[in-house]
Amino acid sequence: MESSTGVLVIGGGSTGTGIARDLAMRGVDVTLVEKGNLTHGTTGRMHGLLHSGGRYAVSDQESAKECIIENRILRDIASHCVEMTGGLFVQRPQDSDEYFQKKLEGCRECDIPAEVLSPEEAREVEPYLATDIERAIKVPDGAIDPFRLCVANAVSTENHGGRIETHAPVTDVLLEDGEVVGVEVTHESGPGKRVHGNEGQTEKIYADHVVNAAGAWTGRIGDMAGVDIEVRPSKGVMTVMNARQVDTVINRCKPKGDADIIVPHETAAILGTTDEEVEDPEDYAEEQWEVDLMIEELKELVPILDESRTLRSFWGVRPLYEPPDTGTEDATDITRQFFLLDHDDRDDLPGMTTIVGGKFTTYRMMAEQLSDHVCERLGIDAECRTAEVPLPGSENTGVLDDAMDQFGLRSPIARRSKQRLGSRTEEVLDVDGPNPVVCQCEGVTRAELVDAIDQSGTDLNAVRLRTRASMGNCQGGFCSRAMADLLHPEYEEAIAREAYDELFQERWKGERHALWGEQLSQAMLNYALHATTLNADSDPARLGQDVDFAAFDGGESASAERTGTGADAVATDGGHDGD
């Protein structure tokens, strides 16, 4: 199978989806390919902090300035993905006055609004701060939903005629006469609306230009093209607490160090992080001491964390880049700036540009610079409009309020639906018939889930990214089955089962790092519900046996079974009679 496009973008993280949107809005024919789901890489495994730039105001002022510029833009164009929580840099008794002062001055030099709060004022903002804190600097940090933001960028790309292809890993970069002319992908999509090609089928996609936005994997794409890209992947752990112990981003005001930030995120608070170089962005140790360190260190700032319930932990890998011969030994010293590598100038290989490094917060700026560059290469004269045109869902906040009134929505559930859907609230919630809550922890209604299934088909992890269903306290224990039920009857039973397994497995990956206290009880309950009560692990339908559905009602075969006369009857608990 062969196809062609103007620009082929590799990578469905913030950088890739941002680039695809930017180019599509300039009228460029663009195709994005992603090996997993959107946000499959680092973007789906970050802290969710919309940086004010305060974090880099001493160590990396270039990044700090970029962050505050983009912080202001994203509040405008992606209001339904951003919660302006505000942030505090908190000084503890052992933290130096000199550094506090440097941070304050650094913020002001970088145009980051910064105000000093006394300990009493800081505790008025955040009552659970430790009683011995000395003072704090208030900055405009926020929380941002990476999943919603990337999906909005992808939807905007499609609205402008672009093609988004998930579950399509690039397996080769196509070269002709010393020039990159496209890529080869393998389609791994399953059945249902996820189908774009046939599973296992390869597709050669020819392009006028290829953009390598594969994050920590950019080096691997470089290898396929025969060029060296010195990515220095660095892992960091994040631990999710079951409630928002704080409503403001809390940073420890000290030079770089592990476990120095808490980000309130939707219904949870995320503790982080570490910074340790790894060889392979997909294969590295996930160690318990890293999780323990988060709680041990951060409880000094917010003591109530010690009594709180840990839901799960996850790790992400920073796509840090180090220009050749820099020779930085400590990963924490590698710059957070982004780099645009024109392989024609750099390696004498026309047809491909790589973009690597940077922050999630600066994704739009990265996309703008990259798109300017590609347009110049291709002789396209079109302005970037992404700083002004809102993302889908963020167009008109007045529409939201009208929709709230129209639907009489005042409950917390409605408020959260509105936050998630933005200006699409009216369109999505306007359904015939009842609209119950399916995911109780996150307050996600059936209408939202059906809408997400319409967009992403049978991939329940993609539905999760769009809605947050299954990401709350029960970690899918109660709702994932109900989510799978919504796939039927449009999709066959076997597809719904597979989708359910994939979703449940994805949740388990993070939960297994939090098996103590109440979360252990929750995990045991989830096991009891799914493996025992629902018999998910030995369900005859999964084992390829025929289910005698008549045995479930009062029919003839049911009574035959009750008396033990049914031939090879399957009991209602799924086991064979007498097992």
What is the number of other CB atoms lying within 10 angstroms of the CB of residue 555?
12
- Comparison of 143 and 463: residue with beta carbon closer to ligand FAD: 143
Q: How many CB atoms lie within 10 A of CB 328?
A: 14
Give the position of tokens 């939903």. Answer: 145
* 358 lies in the site for ligand FAD, by CB under 6 A: yes
Given a contact cutoff of 8 angstroms between Cβ atoms, the answer to whether 10 and 20 are in contact is no
Residues 112 and 140 sit within 8 Å (Cβ to Cβ): yes
Total number of residues that touch ligand FAD (CB under 6 A) = 38
CA distance 227 to 221: 9
Nearer CB in complex with ligand FAD: 162/215: 215
- Out of 6, 13, 392, 574, point to the residue binding ligand FAD (CB under 6 A): 13
- The C-alpha angle 238, 240, 243, rounded to 5 degrees, equals 150
Stretch that binds ligand FAD, among 9-17, 90-98, 197-205, 530-538 (CB under 6 A): 9-17
Q: Nearest distance from residue 84's CB to ligand FAD, in Å?
A: 15
Q: How far is the CB of 14 from ligand FAD (least distance, A)?
A: 5
Strands 202-212 and 352-357: parallel
Query: CA of 262: how far to CAs of 129, 146, 271, 300, in Å?
Result: 12, 17, 5, 12
Residue among 310, 335, 361, 470 that touches ligand FAD (CB under 6 A): 361
Is residue 48 part of the contact set for ligand FAD (CB under 6 A)?
yes
Side chain identity at 117, as an amino acid letter?
L
Q: How far is the CB of 35 from ligand FAD (least distance, A)?
A: 4
Rg (CA), the chain: 25
E-state strands within 43-131: 49-50, 82-83, 87-91, 115-117
**Residue closer to ligand FAD, measured from CB, 247 or 577:** 247
Q: Judged by CB, which is closer to ligand FAD: 21, or 359? A: 359
Contact at 8 Å (CB) between 305 and 295?
A: yes
Stretch near ligand FAD under the rule CB under 6 A, chosen from 11-19, 20-28, 489-497, 547-555: 11-19
334 in contact with ligand FAD (CB under 6 A): no
Kindly state the tokens that stand for 305.
């964390």
Planar angle of CA 531, 536, 540, nearest 5 degrees: 130
**Contact mark string toward ligand FAD, 201..240, x via CB under 6 A:** ------------xxxxx------------------x-x--
Question: Residue 213 or residue 449: which is nearer to ligand FAD going by CB?
Answer: 213
How is residue 342 written in tokens?
């024109």
* 34 part of the interface to ligand FAD, by CB under 6 A: yes
For CA atoms 460, 462, 465, 467, the dihedral sign is negative
* 245-304 binders of ligand FAD (CB under 6 A): 273
Q: DSSP strand E in 44-190: where?
A: 49-50, 82-83, 87-91, 115-117, 135-139, 142-144, 163-165, 170-176, 179-186
For residues 301 to 330, the per-residue mask of contacts with ligand FAD, x marking binding by CB under 6 A and - elsewhere, is ---------------xxxx-----------
Q: Report helix, strand or coil for 228.
A: coil
- Applying CB under 6 A, does 506 fall inside the site for ligand FAD? no
- Per-residue string for binding with ligand FAD, 160-199, x by CB under 6 A? ---------xx-----------------------------
Give the whole-angstrom CA distance, residue 355 versus residue 263.
27
Q: How far is the CB of 511 from ligand FAD (least distance, A)?
A: 19
Segment interacting with ligand FAD, rule: CB under 6 A, options 38-46, 240-248, 419-427, 529-537: 38-46
Residue 461 beta carbon to ligand FAD: minimum distance, rounded to whole angstroms: 13
Shortest distance in whole angstroms from residue 59 CB to ligand FAD? 15
Residue 411: exposure state from Cβ atoms within 10 A (0-12, 13-18, ≥19)? exposed
359 binds ligand FAD, rule: CB under 6 A: yes
* Least distance to ligand FAD, CB of residue 17, Å: 8
Place of tokens 């294969």: 283
Consecutive H or E run containing 223: helix 218-225
Among 8, 9, 11, 510, binds ligand FAD (CB under 6 A): 11
- Collapse the DSSP code of 56 into the 3-class scheme (helix H, G, I; strand E, B; otherwise coil) and give the result: helix
The residue within the footprint of ligand FAD, chosen from 7, 10, 28, 32 (CB under 6 A), is 10
Locate all alpha helices (DSSP H) within 422-492, ordered by sequence: 425-429, 446-456, 460-467, 480-485
Of 20, 23, 33, 496, which one interacts with ligand FAD (CB under 6 A)?
33
Please report how close the Cβ of residue 85 comes to ligand FAD at its closest, in angstroms: 12
Query: How near is the Cβ of 119 to ligand FAD at its closest, in Å?
Result: 26
At 387, the amino acid letter reads A
Among 26, 47, 312, 343, binds ligand FAD (CB under 6 A): 47
Q: Which is nearer to ligand FAD, 172 or 539 (CB)?
A: 172
CB burial of 227-260 (b: ≥16 within 10 Å; e: otherwise) equals: bebbbbbbbbbbbbbbebbbbbbbbbbbeeebbb
Provide, rounded to whole angstroms, the least separation between the CB of residue 151 and ligand FAD: 13
CB of 183 to ligand FAD, least distance (A): 8
Helix, strand, coil % in the chain, rounded to nearest 5: 40, 20, 40
Only one of the segments 305-313, 353-361, 433-441, 454-462 lies at the binding site for ligand FAD (rule: CB under 6 A); that segment is 353-361
Residues that bind ligand FAD (CB under 6 A): 10-16, 33-36, 40-43, 46-49, 51, 169-170, 213-217, 236, 238, 273, 316-319, 358-361
